[in-house]
Amino acid sequence: MNIALASIHARSLSIPFKAAFSHASADRSVTQTLWVQAGDSAGLTGYGEGCPREYVTAETIGSALDFVARHRTLWIAGIHDLPSLKAWVNAHRREIDIEPAAWSAVELALLDLLGKRGDCSVEALLGLPTIDGSFRYTAVIGDGTPVRFEAELERYRLAGFDDFKIKLSGDPARDAGKVAALRRAGIDPARVRADANNLWPDAAAAVTALRALDFAFGAVEEPIHANDIDGLAAIADAIGCGIILDESLLRADQLDAFARHPARWLVNLRISKMGGLLRSLELVERIGALGFGVVVGAHVGETSLLTRAALTIAHAARDIVVASEGAFGTHLLAHDIVDPPIMFGAGGVLNAASLPRRAGGFGLGNIDPALLASP
């Protein structure tokens, strides 16, 4: 199916959180989101979302808006179907590498629009299986006070969650308190992933700190500076668990550097970080061939649109997905852009049967009408 693009509008989207979320790289109490609307000459609109993060890809909302402003005229003139969209991605890899979240928002809007024009889902558009079954999400606990950590842990435990991700602070006493709370709650260490957000200066410091916690985490995410491959491998060997690559893995062409000893590595795959759904699917194919595992990740504050897009990945890559994060919806946001929101329920489970089934594209429910006006 073809579209005649008429407009591409981008704006910043700020939605307050119900509670602030903290980790070693940032404190956040409101979304930091680029929202894109792509319209065609027939009056259809596709929607897209990206989450620029300075500490992940060096993007800002300002740089993302500039990216859209620079390229929108060429997109409107040159993208009219799925092949031309794929051709733009292949021809402009370097530009997308620099502004992956910005392109993610644009690409998702175009895919949504193409699906609506063809009266088919994004999965059908891309030749992927229809999303079905259930998806179980991880309980993510930020770097809060000991009292807050225990309260959040208890709420998740009582809600039936059995998979956890905690944020480490680098403060030995503070982190030891988190581990003690997990032990008291009877949480299986193998079901806990620790996100260190590049806390320690080198492998030796990371190993010392992690051994001091005396807790056999299932995996540790980015404990040292990004791209220190030898250091990350040394940590994996020393503490005997997998290493989750986040800031160290932003593009498919970086995978070869980690190809030795694939059992060590899991990739935190966030569509916005990877530069869109098409590049994420490419990455999944290569990850599967190399034998890595995948965590389908999420930026804090994603709305239901990115949650829905991530389900495309989670379903297509079920054989290699170790865990899924996100789908918080109005559990975290004061309000979602989509009504009804797409979010996990009891036990962290999201059933595909509960997804909105509007015709075409991502099939989302009602979009907040305040965002329908051109910025």
Q: What is the pLDDT along the chain (375 residues), one digit of tens a residue?
A: 789 999 999 999 988 887 765 554 556 677 789 999 999 999 999 999 999 988 778 899 999 999 999 999 999 999 999 999 999 999 999 999 999 999 999 999 999 999 999 999 999 999 999 999 999 999 999 888 889 999 999 999 999 999 999 999 999 999 999 999 999 999 999 999 999 999 999 999 999 999 999 999 999 999 999 999 999 999 999 999 999 999 999 999 999 999 888 889 999 999 999 999 999 999 999 999 999 999 999 998 899 999 999 999 999 999 999 999 999 999 989 999 999 999 999 999 999 999 988 889 999 999 987 766 544
Instruction: Identify whether the C-beta of residue 269 lies closer than 8 Å to the C-beta of residue 313.
Output: yes
pLDDT at residue 375 in the model? 47
Instruction: Identify whether the C-beta of residue 8 lies closer than 8 Å to the C-beta of residue 68.
Output: yes
Distance CA 186, CA 180 (A): 10
Domains and CATH numbers, the chain: 5-119 (3.30.390.10), 134-354 (3.20.20.120)
Name which of 281, 288, 283 is nearest 126 in CA terms: 281
Instruction: Identify whether the C-beta of residue 144 lies closer than 8 Å to the C-beta of residue 22.
Output: yes
Please report how the helices 277-290 and 100-118 are oriented relative to each other, as an axis angle in degrees rounded to 10. 100
CA distances from 260 to 225, 270, 292, 293 (A): 20, 23, 11, 14
**Residues with Cβ < 8 Å from 181, sequence gap 6 or more?**
146, 149, 150, 153
pLDDT at residue 25 in the model? 52
Coil/strand/helix, residue 216: coil
Determine phi and psi for 348, rounding to 5 degrees: 75, 20
pLDDT at residue 374 in the model? 44
H/E stretch holding 286? helix 277-290
pLDDT at residue 263 in the model? 85
pLDDT at residue 18 in the model? 78
Instruction: Identify whether the C-beta of residue 63 lies closer than 8 Å to the C-beta of residue 27.
Output: no
Distance CA 106, CA 276 (A): 8
CB burial class (10 A; 0-12, 13-18, 19+) of residue 63? middle
